[in-house]
Chain A
Amino acid sequence: MASTAPVRKAMTGKAVTRAPRDTAHEGFLTHKRGRWAKVALTLSIVAMGAYLLTDPVPRHNGGTWLGYLLGSIGAGMIVWLSLLGVRKRVIGSKPFSLKGWTSAHVYLGLSLIVIGTLHTGFQLGWNVHTLAWALMMIVILSGLWGISLYANLPERLSANRGEVTQLQMLEAIRTLDRQLDTAAQPLGGEDAEFVRMSLEQCTIAGSLRQRLFGNYASDGNARALAAISEKVMAGLRSGRADDRLQQIQFLLERKEAALAQARRHISLKTQLELWLYVHVPVTIALLAALLAHIISVFLYW
């Protein structure tokens, strides 16, 4: 075989050294041995120290030099933290670690509780300024909620799916549907109606409520299974067991199990995303309120 693909030149020099990469096996919370936790903690302590050691007249508020400083830092951080959503989508070829960004996002975000609150000088009221603070707190709390989900759910997600992918789960349900359809051909009208119930009135995920609380008792397949099981039991009791119905029952049970796995999977994935539906829109509201807050402060100086 004579190929004429160019033979690469002897491989030497810096150009061939592999791009440096992060091979440390640590999660975003422990990234670089908690570098950003340390930074955030230091920032908070310094801010608190400055707050306690200074005694402005008439009192602490956003208008003192410390208030301006904390406000500027806080506003800058809010804008930067909200850019994570952009960073995550722009990959490019340059070195960066999204894990590092997430880590910084989490810890610096938490330090905003201290910085933002000290900036207010504990002067809260029913105005646009407090609105910005309140929105910030909602964003941070929803973030905390997200962290707790990120810490607990992946393990359950992994355990539930085993080595099955989402597509395979759905495919398995479709296969069972086909088998049910075939097995139902010789059945009488009433029994066939139950199978039809499983085939046509079965939703895999259902409403958000169902996804979160997992109540699928009224679903077509569950109802069909209950009805068929009852008929099979009745048949057994009367001593006239119906093989075809038992086969249907078996298939409905398998489908129920397959549905349960898929639903748990969807439920966990929903939970892992749900908090973002609070976190992100409120962040956008916060950015708007922040702008209003800054403009109004300078307008009514």
Chain B
Amino acid sequence: MTTYRIAIVGSGPGGLSAAAHAAKLGLSHILLEKTDHLSDTIYKYQKGKHVMATPSQLVLRSPLDFEAGKREVVLGTWNEQTAAAGVNVKHGAEVKSIVGTGAPIPGSVMQLATRNRDGTTSTTELQRNAPPYRLTLTNGEEIMAEAVIMALGTQGNPNLMGCPGGNLPHVQYQLDDPTEYTDEHIFVIGGGDAGIENALGLCADPAQNNTVTLINRTADFPTAKDANVKALLAARDAGRISIMAESNTTMVEPGFITVETRDGEVRARCDRIIARIGSAPPRGFVESCGIEFASADRLAFPKLSATFESTAPGIYVVGALAGYPLIKHCMNQGHDVVEFINGNLDLKPADEPILEAKFAGLPGRRSVAEWLEYLRDRVSILNGMSSLQMREFMLDSAVKLYRAGETIFERSAPGSSLFGIADGEVAVEVNPNDPSITVPIGTGQIFGEVGLISGRRRGATIKAARDTIVVEISRNAALKLMSQVPSASREITRINTERTLLQIFKSGLAPADLVDVIAGAKVETIRAGQAIIKEGETGDDIFIIRSGSMVVEKSIGGKPVFLSYVPAGSYVGEMAVIDGSARSATVRAAVKSDVIRLAGEPFRALLAAKPQLLDKLRGEMASRTKLNNFVESKKDSFSGVVDMYTGVANFLVEQGVGEATDVLLIDEKLCVGCDNCEKACADTHDGLSRLDREAGRTYAHLHVPTSCRHCEHPHCMADCPPNAIHRGPTGEVYIDETCIGCGNCQRNCPYGVIRLDKTPPKKPWLLSWFLFGSGPGPGEASHKWAKKHDPAYAEKAKKAIKCDMCSGQEGGPACVRACPTGAAIRVSPEQFLSVSLMNREDR
């Protein structure tokens, strides 16, 4: 048997690029691909999909060409160039196991945890052996290789139908082009997002005349996105699709399907089955090769060295499996890893120029590697990172020199980044009225963590006390850091607790005073609706709301009455500590929230030692008591008003206003339905409106239209491959031009405020419409008009668009400016969810 120098598993962008480079260098290699075509993930993209090539500033160093374009063109280029490069491809080769055939490596034993069906876990030990590796294929063939490049991607293998007939040719596990099928009886199996989207695609155009049925194992659709479920049910109500819930397929025959339903077995005509019943992630297989993951977290990536080598020596991991979902990154890594294997350990990664640019202009004349080492060494929370992690981390971060006295950020500026001091010292202006009172933070420490964790605005102005080198860590990089380096996470939490306390209580406290209080502090996650304090109960814990928000309610006359809205960064529960009474009101989470629970006892000791603090708390307590009494007095005289106030407040909280920072509300007592808000939005944003006035929920004539709320912790940011969603300097959440139109943000947004669309051509100016009727007039132009006036329109790629709060426009939100009656307002929840709401009815 020949032993190859390199075996490459998977022929996606990373694997292909590696194989082509190995071929170019004349290394003996074999590219193993499970299917009968190259690059299966992209192959499975919908027909004609526009493939993006971001990040644009990254240089492509792969032997294969790649630029943004249609799926067919990209695949065509790769097929051609792979063949021309003489790559040794083996199709239909699915790797079952990879085992080292050399001597056992002393001390290199991996603990393999497997979750059993009953929920228990069992651990087996895996002794790693030295290369060369034996790769066994599912057909029993064996291949020997000195080094293995894993470029599997994260798609995994689709779960197959287990019933008799599940292997018939009309059963398929993907749907490339829903418009391909006409006049067919099609069954879609699986009620997840993939199944629902496929089913909706198949029945979208009645002209196709398909009879589509969706089979779901359970009664409802717990794993699917709410918007998808709604669309599915609407399609069912419109008679376009049938749903068979609580049903299982028992048999597939040519032309027929047999389904076991709650009411018995049904045999129906069926020309095609599309099974979308999940896929097995490749993690199990990867681990069995001796590759360790960073954590047990479902989203964790393998542990890798700076040369992409895994914990199994000689096995390298690149691409999406290594945590790089973008095609360009994958291709570069494919090239780099072959260079590394070939002994070129001095190769600088492709991101080197980007990092160089980041460090340009800083004093000290260090190289990129030296800078990374310097930062890792100096900033305490970065100590636990590997050099590969540092590189990646720096791409999302920035380093800057601040001269003495320069402002780093100001109080009330929005911002969710974390700062680490690599050298120097900063001064925190703790008292907004007297900037001369400052608290120092020195080298190695961090600041800005309150904004990171709570998503709220900055609590204090921070200036450089002397010339200071600061590393600014973006929110995404900081979250990643916290998940990868547990010690960093613990340290950030501790500092956050301490600083939150200092900031809330001020009153001349020093960190030393808080040691006892913090020692007993616990961070707890509270799900939406759960109460942390219940009226009438005893208890003296104090809660600081770290993220999310709470509502305070009091039972008056047997009904819960809304008292106030408590945003992150505030505290509740101090009244019991001060006067020892039972809880006077119920506090429950408006949205999923994190709270810091402080025990009452050490806190009481702190109050005894610090009388000013006690005074301050007494003062705040008095104002809360006053509010309680006010609401209670109103209740006696105008119970209807208080009920309405509670109703409106609860409605708004239900609509996600609790996690909003800025929300558009429409008073339907004033709204005349002119849609000038939508027109203004379109006219100030490339001709596309980012709001749907009529859609959305309404309560007591208060309407929450479909428009972005700029959440504290935006759901849309969670899974953006090019990292194109940011929070801007005035608090707005916006999507930048690197959007690749994948639609993840649209699916992740629970409020349905993001749409995918293409920019229409520019309209003729208003006067020519006014006088001569040319163009579509104010507002969003129809697709038909756009198509007619822009020959390239049909081919344009759709991108995600959403409200940007009209940032950069001097006049503020155009929807509000353009409302002729004052029905539309944009407010923060604290501004609106206050007692002033009660006067709304009086007006």
Contacts and interface: CB of A to CB of B under 8 A. Distances in A.
A208 to B, nearest CB: 18
A98 B237 contact: no
A96 to B, nearest CB: 6
Interface in B663-683: 667-673, 676, 679-680, 683
Contacts of A20: 812
Interface in A81-101: 86, 88-99, 101
B570 interface: no
A11 B414 contact: yes
Interface stretch (B183-191, B395-403, B509-517): B395-403
Contacts of A90: 766
A123 interface: no
A157 B670 CA distance: 10
Interface string A11-25: 111011111111111
B821 interface: yes
A163 interface: yes
Contacts, number: 209
Contacts of A155: 668-669, 701
Nearest to A89: B778
Interface stretch (B280-288, B437-445, B627-635, B728-736): B728-736
Interface stretch (A50-58, A70-78, A110-118, A171-179): A171-179
Interface in B772-823: 778, 806, 808-814, 816-823
A11 B822 contact: no
A163 B704 CA distance: 10
Given A4-B55, A10-B409, A88 B820 contact: yes
A150 interface: yes
- The winner among B324, B721, B823 for most chain A CB atoms within 10 A is B823
Given A4-B58, A10-B400, A12-B410, A93 B684 contact: yes
A28 B820 contact: yes
Nearest to A91: B680
Given A21-B816, A98-B819, A16 B672 contact: no
Contacts of B55: 3-5
Given A2-B329, A5-B55, A98-B817, A26 B822 contact: yes
A283 to B, nearest CB: 15
B351 interface: yes
Interface in B405-419: 407-410, 413-415, 417
Contact of B811 (A96, A158, A166): A96
Nearest to A171: B238
A11 B413 contact: yes
Main secondary structure of the interface of A (DSSP, over half): loop
A21 B407 contact: no
A158 B840 contact: no
A188 interface: no
A299 interface: no
Given A7-B474, A13-B410, A23-B825, A2 B392 contact: yes
Contacts of B683: 91
Contacts of B697: 163
Contacts of B417: 7
A10 B472 contact: yes
Nearest to A174: B238
Nearest to A105: B820
A167 B238 CA distance: 14
A116 B826 CA distance: 39
A182 B840 CA distance: 49
Contacts of A13: 407, 410
Given A11-B409, A12-B409, A96-B817, A2 B324 contact: yes
Contact of B408 (A10, A30, A179, A182): A10
- The winner among A11, A23, A99, A150 for most chain B CB atoms within 10 A is A11
A281 interface: no
Interface string A191-231: 00000000000000000000000000000000000000000
Contacts of A18: 730-731, 812
B729 A7 contact: no
A4 B395 contact: yes
Given A91-B683, A97-B817, A5 B670 contact: no
A232 to B, nearest CB: 24
A34 B695 CA distance: 32
Contacts of B237: 175
B384 interface: no
A77 B696 CA distance: 40
B333 to A, nearest CB: 10
A150 to B, nearest CB: 6
Contact of A19 (B324, B812, B825): B812
A121 B680 CA distance: 43
B97 to A, nearest CB: 29
Nearest to B811: A95
A95 B817 contact: yes
Interface string A152-164: 0111011101110
A47 to B, nearest CB: 27
Size category of the A interface is: 35 or more
A154 B398 contact: no
A161 B703 CA distance: 12
A7 B239 contact: no
A144 interface: no
B407 A19 contact: no
A24 B827 CA distance: 9
B237 to A, nearest CB: 7
Interface string A129-165: 0000000000000000000001001110111011101
B713 interface: no
Given A13-B410, A28-B822, A3 B810 contact: no
A7 B812 contact: no
Interface string B574-604: 0000000000000000000000000000000
B766 A272 contact: no
A156 B698 CA distance: 13
B816 A25 contact: no
B239 A5 contact: no
Contact of A102 (B730, B731, B820): B820
Contact of A7 (B396, B410, B813): B396
Given A8-B729, A21-B816, A1 B723 contact: yes
B354 interface: yes
A254 interface: no
Contacts of B325: 1
A219 B812 CA distance: 48
Contacts of A178: 238-239
Contacts of B731: 18
A22 B826 CA distance: 8
Contacts of B832: 25
A61 B396 CA distance: 76
B639 interface: no
B686 to A, nearest CB: 13
Nearest to A179: B239
Nearest to A30: B843
Nearest to B694: A165
A166 B694 CA distance: 8
A287 to B, nearest CB: 15
A19 to B, nearest CB: 4
A11 B731 CA distance: 11
A272 B676 CA distance: 14
B738 interface: yes
A16 B676 contact: no
A1 B324 CA distance: 5
Given A10-B415, A154-B668, 15 more contacts: A1-B480, A4-B354, A5-B738, A7-B417, A16-B730, A21-B812, A23-B827, A25-B825, A26-B843, A91-B818, A92-B684, A93-B814, A157-B671, A157-B672, A163-B696
Closest 4 CB pairs of A and B: A158-B668, A3-B723, A21-B812, A95-B811
5 contacts: A3-B396, A3-B722, A12-B413, A25-B667, A99-B819
